[in-house]
Structure 1
Amino acid sequence: MSATRPGSVTFVAVLVYINGVLNIIGGVVILFTRDQMVRASNAGAIAGITTAAILSIVLGIVILIVARGLLSGSRLARGLVTVVMILNAVSGVILLFNFQFFSGILEILWAVVVMYLLFTQRANAFFASRA
């Protein structure tokens, strides 16, 4: 018998969806406004901004796929989100060492909360039932 998806997994997936959509929107906005960001004569800067915008859009699409995977119980999706949260926590520790305490603590707390929500007893049962 398969376990029903717990609210914690749905909540994290919705947050991941929002992140993906914002990445796509940000990339599109940057792509269409890149000419106003630098002088037209600075081709290198425009190329860099264009590359960053395209990467943001592609990353947003990947994030949407991962969010869909979370909703369907993909262990790979849960693993990817976990790796990203571990990297966020490491980033938070680095921020603490750079005297950016508020940002560092927020990064660490965010990572801990998301990982907690993905590894509750009900979430573990849900992902295990999808094997």
Structure 2
Amino acid sequence: MATRPGSVTFVAVLTYLNGALDVIGGVILLIARDQVAGGGNSAAITTSAIVSILLGIVTVVVARGLLRGSTVSRALVAVVMVIDILNGVLLLFTSQVVTGVIQILWSILIVALLFTRRANAFFTGR
């Protein structure tokens, strides 16, 4: 059984943080939906807040799976990062170059950390 490499722990911590921020942001949006809607359609904002909270919870579960060596969690994070890379490319075409480059580089870093030789040994050794 391989020991968990630091890169996997780092990615899991970032994933936990992302999930927690999604939940916190969703709760804040839910509480402040009337101010955010400004008299508009608060149903869409409520839906967005609830989706954010649910995604945050799922993200925390996925992070826990990374720490345990779950290949499903690893695959989910990799798929999300590939989607983030594609989104970053789209940002490049919408004149948001800095944001797009940061998103692309960040996502590549996460994927690279999840697929190092030691990470591969950790996930296949489970």
In structure 1, the partner of 2:22 is 23
Taking structure 2 as the reference length, the TM-score comes to: 0.96
Q: Which amino acid aligns with 1:84?
A: V
Which 4+ runs in 1 deviate beyond 3 A?
Answer: none
Equivalence map 1:1-131=2 (5 Å):
2-39=1-38, 42=40, 45-130=41-126
Where in structure 2 are there 5+ consecutive unaligned residues? Answer: none
Partners of 1:39 and 1:94 in 2: CA distance: 29
Question: Separation in 2 of the partners of 1:38 and 1:101?
Answer: 29
Amino acid paired to 1:95: L
RMSD in angstroms over aligned alpha carbons?
A: 1.0
Shift of residue 39 of structure 1? 4.3
Counterpart amino acid of residue 127 in structure 1? F
Quote the sequence identity (%): 57
The count of aligned residue pairs is: 126
Structure 1: which 5+ runs fail to align?
none
User: SS of the counterpart of 1:62?
Assistant: helix
